[in-house]
Structure formats: C-alpha cells, structure tokens
Amino acid sequence: MTREILVIGGAGYVGSHAVEALRAEGYVPVVLDNLSGGYREAVGKAELIVGDMGDAALLDMLFSRRQFAGVLHFASLIDVAASQKDPARYYSNNVAATLVLLESMRKHGVAHLVFSSSAAVYGEPEHSPVTEDAARKPVSVYGQTKCMVEDMLAAHHKAYGLHYTSLRYFNAAGAHPNGSIGECHPEETHLIPLVLQAASGRRRSVSVFGNQYPTEDGTCIRDYVHVCDLAAAHVKALESLWNGSASRCYNLGTGKGYSVLEVIRTAERVTGKTIKTDMEKRRDGDPAVLVADGSLAREKLGWVPAYPELETMLQHAWAWESRMAESIRSREVV
Ligand code: UFG
C-alpha cells in the first residue's frame, strides 16, 4: 500500500526537495502550502493544496478525509532580520499555527511528525562543533520560535504520545542535481544565492558582512549542507519514527565550516567568473562560527551526506542559478 505523507511548506526550498525525495522512495507526498514563500512549480507532479497551516477547518477536513502516515513540517518564516522587525508575524506563523497543526493531528490520531528546526536555536554557541546538548540561547525572534516549537513537541510527546523528530539545519545550500528545483526566495538574503546572482550578472556585487571576526580571514564561518541531504534526512527520520525510535532533536550539518570569503572564492572557481565584493559592517545577530557536530544523526538515523563538498553544492546551485538568469533574460527579450 502506498503511504501518503502530508508535506506542509512543500513548495518552498527545502520542502520541495523533500517532496522529490519522498517520491523517489515510493511515498505519495501531498503538499499543503500557502505559497507565501514557495512556488506552485516547485512541487512538480505532487498534489498541491493551497492553504494555511493555521486554518483549523482546512486541517480537520484534510485529516478526516485522508490517511496520512506522517507529517513533514517546513512551513516557517525564515528571515532573521524580519523576525526582529515584526515579531508578532513570526510568533503567529511559526508558533501559533504549529499549535493548530498539533491539535488537529492529535484530534485525528496522526502521531508522526518531522519538524524543520534550525541552528538558530543555539544563538552564539560556546563550543564548536555544536552538539545537540549545547545550551539553547537564541539571539533572534526567529530562533526563539524554533525553540518554542521544540518545547511544544516535547510536551506533546510526553502528554499525548506524539512521535516527533526535530531537525536542526545548519546552512542549507545547493539545488537538485537534476536541475528541476533549487533555491528561490521572494527576497533573497542568503549568501550562496546572492554570490551566484553576482556571478550570473543578476547583481552587481555581493556584500561581505564583517571581516573582523575572530576567524582566520576575519569573515564568518558556516557549515553548508546540501539541500538534498537535508531532504533525505527527513525521510530517514520519519522511517525511524515508524520503527520506534525515540523522539528527539538532531543537528544536520557536515561538520566542516567555510568562511564567507572561502565561499566566494570557491564560487569563482566553479563559475569561472570574477565576483565583485563590497565590504560592509557586521549584520546583527551573526555568530562568528556555526559548525555542527552531526554524529548523532549519522549514528541514530544512518544519515550520511551524499554531497558533503561545498564545491558540489555550488555546482548544483550554479546550474540552477544559470537557468533562472536565462529564463529572466528570455522573458526580458520577449
Ligand atoms: N553573508 C554575507 N553577505 C550576504 C549574506 C550573508 O556576508 O549578502 C554572510 C552572513 O553574515 C553569514 C553567512 O554569510 O555570516 C551566511 O549567511 P546566510 O544569510 O546565508 O545564512 P545564516 O547563517 O545567517 O542563516 C542560516 C539560515 C537561518 C538560520 C541560521 C542559523 O538561513 O535560517 O543559519 O544561525 F537561522
């Protein structure tokens, strides 16, 4: 029997890659997305229901008509700076709407959930690489919303027997190697797409936010992890919940960090273009170094990144960016 999985936020960047991963493993993903940060085209052949996770009536209707074997929840707002400016929107979408989802799942006996959390729960970690037992000290509203959902999940597990996995992503990067999907945010703030847009000519240059951090070249170090590896971790997490694994949090990263300047230099190598940079002041709330100790996910979920090299992530992201830039150019010509 085919298993239907509800993928909330499945039209977004990581969610759409998880939809592909589920289909490749023989599951039937059903996407619920309000298209606030995602795209209809990103779900491919999967069924798309346009709607909001906070719409209790819609969820009740869905859960009463369909037999979902599990839920993947990607439907968070992710812009750290925006979360500081408009916290109510972040608490409402990321926390309150998740509570609506949990209530509806409980009411309809849907007991397995995989949640997209973030390294933002750690804030400025005291040790690197970071293990899951490090203190959670978020420095942004965005990070707080992830902590609040993790706390709600733990309480629902204890009180109502919800089986959950919370996956703390480090820096998602890359695109599907088949070229069909990739990163496309309505307002791009992430380093790699911005660097590649500068290479393709969609932007004049890329800003480097700070070069006086206590790192070798003075720029921030991040642990980039291929989006297909993140997607694969969701399938493994769900399967391991079905097999009776404990409900808990895992870090998802490769354990290797790259500085902002290393990312730019690698992108120049991959694209064969010179990328112009503008040195800017630090961005608020950026930790100097954020690198995962991902050994728990390897040990307990059997998760081994298939594309651990930054160069491969950039090659896949560059193929995607070249396609985007070309389609924009051809629209301009018409
Ligand atoms: N950066 C630049 N120039 C830019 C954009 C980013 O120098 O134009 C730098 C940032 O200062 C940072 C690094 O590049 O040092 C990576 O920045 P991103 O914005 O790509 O990613 P973040 O590390 O800020 O954010 C990621 C996720 C968030 C999550 C956070 C956890 O995208 O969702 O990790 O800390 F909250």
| 184-242 tens-digit pLDDT | 888 899 999 999 999 999 999 999 999 999 999 999 999 999 999 999 999 999 999 99
Q: Is 142 a catalytic residue?
A: yes
Strand stretches in the chain, DSSP E: 4-8, 28-33, 47-50, 68-73, 112-118, 163-169, 171-173, 206-209, 221-222, 224-226, 248-252, 258-259, 277-280, 289-290
Task: Single out the catalytic residue among 27, 122, 142, 307.
Answer: 142
Amino acid, single-letter form, for residue 297: A
HEC per residue, 62-83: HHHHCCEEEEEECCCCCCHHHH
What does each C-alpha distance from 307 to 83, 93, 253 come to in angstroms? Answer: 31, 32, 11
Residues 6+ away with beta carbon under 8 Å from 265: none
- pTM greater than 0.85 (yes/no): yes
Supply the residue whose CA is at minimum distance from atom 18 of ligand 1.
Answer: 190
168 and 251 in contact (C-beta within 8 Å)? yes
Rg of the chain (C-alpha set): 19
The distance in angstroms from the start CA to the end CA of the chain is 48
Supply the residue whose CA is at minimum distance from atom 12 of ligand 1.
Answer: 220
- Whether domain 191-222+255-333 has CATH 1.10.1530.10: the reply is no
Percent of the chain with pLDDT over 90: 91
Distance from the alpha carbon of residue 80 to the mean position of ligand 1, in angstroms: 9
Dist. CA 199–CA 195, nearest whole Å: 6
Amino acid, single-letter form, for residue 108: H
Domain boundaries, the chain: 4-173+225-252, 191-222+255-333
Question: Does ligand 1 come within 6 angstroms of the Cβ of 222?
Answer: yes
Question: Does ligand 1 come within 6 angstroms of the Cβ of 194?
Answer: yes
Q: Which CATH number describes the domain made up of 4-173+225-252?
A: 3.40.50.720
Question: pLDDT tens digits, residue range 79-127?
Answer: 988 999 999 999 999 999 999 999 999 999 999 999 999 999 999 898 8
Token match 């290479």: residue? 199
Distance from the alpha carbon of residue 18 to the mean position of ligand 1, in angstroms: 22
